[in-house]
Amino acid sequence: MYIIFGGLTTLINYALFIALTPLLVPFIEKAGTVANIIASLVAILFAYITNKLWVFEKKSFGKGALAEFFRFILSRAATLVLGTAIIFITVDFLGLNEFFWKGVETILVVVLNYFLSKTKVFT
């Protein structure tokens, strides 16, 4: 299930990144970084809901759910910072291919997100 919903989360993230980057270029100097942050925030919300309900099967939204959500947000924020740094350095600073480096960043973030969700969030 993680592969399915992780794939959908990645698709949402990647599609938003690809759509937003050229739209933001005329207005924002570091469009890749801003597009990556927006795409990642939308993907994080989608990922929390799908991971909670279908991947790790935590159906409760009662006691402890707020702490769980906070742990999820913190873990995803950490990987967002890492992913954003990768995009900033490779795309915005070095001028390398955004699609290739978004793919590299995505693979790294997906693996780290699974590990953090399994060991720190949905315990």
Digit-coded pLDDT (tens) for 76-106? 999 989 999 999 999 989 999 988 998 999 8
Position of tokens 């935590």?
58
Instruction: Tell me which residue of 22, 41, 24 sits closest to 84, measured CA to CA.
Output: 41
Span 47-79, pLDDT tens digits: 999 999 999 888 777 778 889 989 999 999 999
Whether 50 and 2 have beta carbons less than 8 Å apart is answered as: no
In 1-123, which ranges are continuous DSSP H helix? Answer: 2-24, 31-50, 65-87, 98-116
Q: What is the mean pLDDT of residues 22-35?
A: 89
Structural domain harbouring 105: 2-121
Q: How far apart are CA 19 and CA 22, in angstroms?
A: 7
Predicted model pTM: 0.73
Report how many domains make up the chain. Answer: 1
